[in-house]
């Protein structure tokens, strides 16, 4: 019961972070229109969030290993609440981007450290199911965020989205502050003398872990890069209101929830490398559906759903593999995989802006669909051996 409560509590934190993380995509056209720029130019708001979100994963991971994962989550989520509200006062793309960057800094701690806590508490045979449940709850926030964010932007203003989410984050922080420690119990690992750089150096010396991180980096490039412009695609192709855009984008979150829940069963049947490849292949097909569905909202909507399904099937599998890379420095190991994912997303979003600006949305989804398909083909050999890898810190201790 305590372990289930832990997944639920951490899921609440992930819920609000993911809700804030992904909400810019459906309201991106509204922000762009309000500040007088084109949607692809406003895409910098997504990259401005993702870059510090990725970089500060590397900071908070070692801090969590040293000072305690629960403490770091509570502090950063409190600061995240304030930063989210500040996003509502920006009047230019540059100003909003600065506040989004600040939000990304403090949001960086929640997902990897939550996953590290789950790694501390759950044995490997139960871990992917717990991770899938946690990610499913987290992406439920993203799913609801699409509809809620679109509705707020439609009926009121996009600024209200950040105010509402900031207040919600504050309430969730209060719930965690009251209950998280008792839910974790004695399972949380903490080392006051934990090194900062050594775990990263050990992880990067392992060929298996490096190959896994490269797969995650490219996953973020193609899949988050594809997701970032779905709201703009729906507006340009079908001239939808922000309310309808939010409703359609909810299909991505629904697919992600299903993928998170199903990924454990897929991994048990086919093995984790194959499960990751299956998820990437589904996402590749989703991009191609968006490409071919330029005249059909139904086809495009199916592509939106399958992108969420494929992303979460692949990503929860890759996360489970990464939990075993470092037993004593799990915060660092999960921070590095989150850094690779979000860094790839920032790269994919910025490249996407250039592709759209010089060609079209169709070209972007064709190119990223092909890229994801190639990645799916190489994922199985690239990830071979990751499931049986001995933790790098255990190897170092034995030496």
The pLDDT score that the predictor gives to residue 187 is: 63
Q: What is the pLDDT of residue 387?
A: 58
Across 109-124, average pLDDT: 83
Q: What is the pLDDT of residues 9-49, one digit of tens each?
A: 888 889 888 888 777 877 888 888 888 888 777 878 877 88
* In the chain, % of residues over pLDDT 70: 90
Our count of domains for the chain comes to 1
| Residue 219: pLDDT over 90 | yes
Q: Whole-number mean pLDDT of the chain?
A: 84
Q: What is the pLDDT of residue 280?
A: 98
pLDDT band at 398 (very low <50, low <70, confident <90, very high): very low
For residues 347 and 223, the answer to whether their CB atoms sit within 8 Å is no
Q: Which residue has the tokens 């991971």?
A: 61
Q: Are 342 and 54 in contact (CB under 8 A)?
A: yes
| Confidence band of 8 (pLDDT split at 50, 70, 90) | confident
DSSP assignment of 167-225 equals HHHHHHHHHHHHHHHHHHTT-----TT--SSHHHHHHHH-HHHHHHHHHHHHHIIIIIH
Ramachandran angles phi, psi of 384, nearest 5°: -60, 130
pLDDT confidence of residue 144:
74
Report the half-sphere exposure of 303 (CA within 13 A, side-chain side). Answer: 27
**354-396, pLDDT tens digit by residue?**
999 899 999 999 999 999 999 999 999 999 866 545 555 543 4
Say whether pLDDT at 215 is over 70: yes
pLDDT top residue among 399 and 336 = 336
Most confidently predicted of 62-76, 165-179, 209-223, 337-351: 209-223
Q: For residue 2, give every residue at least 6 positions away whose Cβ sits within 8 Å of its Cβ, in sequence order, or none.
A: 182, 183, 185
Residue 336 — very low, low, confident or very high, per pLDDT cuts 50/70/90? confident
3-state secondary structure 269-282: HHCHHHHHHHHHHH
According to the model, what pLDDT value does residue 194 have? 65
Tokens, residue 108: 């960086």
- Give the number of other CB atoms < 10 A from CB of residue 138: 29
Contacts for 170 with CB less than 8 Å, ≥ 6 apart: 78, 81
pLDDT at 397: 47
Rounded CA-CA distance 393/198 in Å is 9
Higher pLDDT, 131 or 170: 170
- Work out the burial of residue 269: count CB atoms within 10 Å of its CB; fewer than 13 is exposed, 13-18 middle, 19 or more buried: exposed
Q: Which helix (H) or strand (E) holds 374?
A: helix 361-383
With pLDDT > 90 as the criterion, what percentage of the chain qualifies? 33
Per-residue model confidence (pLDDT) at position 190: 65
Q: How confident is the model at residue 143 (pLDDT cuts 50, 70, 90)?
A: low
Is the per-residue pLDDT at 146 higher than 80?
A: no
How many other CB atoms are there within 10 angstroms of residue 89's CB atom? 12
Burial of 90 per CB tally in 10 Å (0-12, 13-18, 19+)? buried
> Cβ(90)–Cβ(163) under 8 Å?
no
CATH number at residue 359: 1.20.1250.20
Q: 219 with 314: CB under 8 angstroms?
A: yes
Give per-residue pLDDT as tens, 254-299: 898 888 888 888 998 999 999 999 999 999 999 999 999 988 999 9
Q: What is the pLDDT of residue 386?
A: 65
**More confident position, 191 or 334:** 334
- Give the structural domain span for 358: 2-398
Whole-number Å distance between alpha carbons of 29 and 41 = 10
Instruction: Supply the pLDDT for residue 329.
Output: 63
Q: What is the pLDDT of residue 193?
A: 66
Per-residue pLDDT at 328: 56
CA–CA distance, 277 with 290 (Å, rounded to integer): 20
If one compares 165 and 29, the residue with the highest pLDDT of the two is 165
Summarize pLDDT for 53-108 with one digit per residue, the tens: 878 888 888 888 788 888 899 999 999 999 999 999 988 888 999 999 999 999 98
Average pLDDT over residues 216-228: 93
For 36: left if phi > 0, alpha if psi spans -120 to 50, otherwise beta; the answer is left
Per the CB < 8 A criterion, the answer to whether 80 and 17 are in contact is yes
- What angle do the packed helices 57-67 and 110-121 form, to 10 degrees? 40
Longest dimension (CA), the chain: 62
Average confidence (pLDDT) over 187-206: 72
HSE (side-chain half, CA atoms, 13 Å) at 116: 35
User: What confidence score (pLDDT) does residue 222 get?
Assistant: 97
């Amino acid at each position: 019961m305590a372990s289930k409560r832990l997944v639920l509590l951490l899921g609440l934190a992930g819920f609000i972070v993911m809700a804030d993380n992904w909400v810019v995509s459906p309201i991106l056209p509204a922000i762009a229109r309000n500040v007088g720029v084109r949607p692809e130019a406003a895409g910098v708001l997504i990259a401005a969030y993702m870059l510090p979100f990725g970089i500060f994963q590397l900071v908070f991971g070692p801090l969590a290993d040293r000072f305690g994962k629960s403490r770091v989550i509570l502090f950063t989520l409190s600061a995240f609440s304030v930063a989210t509200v500040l996003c509502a006062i920006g009047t230019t793309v540059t100003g909003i981007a600065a506040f989004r960057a600040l939000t990304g800094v403090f949001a960086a701690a929640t997902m990897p450290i939550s996953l590290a806590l789950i790694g501390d508490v759950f044995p490997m045979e139960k871990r992917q199911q717990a991770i899938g449940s946690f990610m499913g709850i987290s992406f439920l926030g993203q799913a609801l965020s699409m509809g809620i964010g679109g509705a707020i932007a439609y009926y009121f203003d996009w600024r209200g989205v950040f105010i509402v989410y900031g207040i919600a984050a504050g309430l969730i922080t209060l719930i965690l502050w009251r209950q998280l420690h008792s839910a974790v119990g004695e399972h949380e690992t903490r080392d006051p003398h934990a090194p900062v750089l050594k775990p990263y150096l050990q992880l990067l010396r392992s060929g298996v872990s490096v190959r896994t991180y490269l797969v995650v980096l490219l996953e973020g490039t193609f899949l988050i890069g594809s997701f970032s412009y779905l709201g703009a695609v729906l507006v340009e192709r079908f001239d939808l209101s922000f309310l309808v855009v939010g409703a359609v984008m909810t299909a991505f979150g629904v697919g992600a929830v299903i993928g998170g829940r199903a990924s454990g069963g897929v991994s048990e049947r086919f093995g984790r490398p194959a499960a990751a490849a299956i998820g990437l292949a589904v996402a590749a097909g989703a991009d191609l559906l968006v490409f071919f569905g330029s005249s059909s909202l139904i086809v495009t909507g199916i592509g939106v759903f399958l992108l969420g399904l494929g992303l979460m099937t692949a990503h929860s599998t890759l996360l489970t593999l990464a939990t075993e890379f470092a037993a004593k420095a799990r915060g660092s190991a999960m921070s590095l995989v989150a850094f690779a994912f979000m860094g790839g997303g920032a790269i994919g979003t910025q490249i996407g802006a250039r592709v759209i600006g010089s060609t079209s949305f169709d070209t972007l989804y064709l190119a990223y669909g092909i890229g994801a398909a190639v990645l799916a083909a190489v994922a199985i050999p690239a990830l071979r051996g990751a499931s049986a890898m001995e933790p790098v810190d255990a190897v170092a201790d034995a030496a």
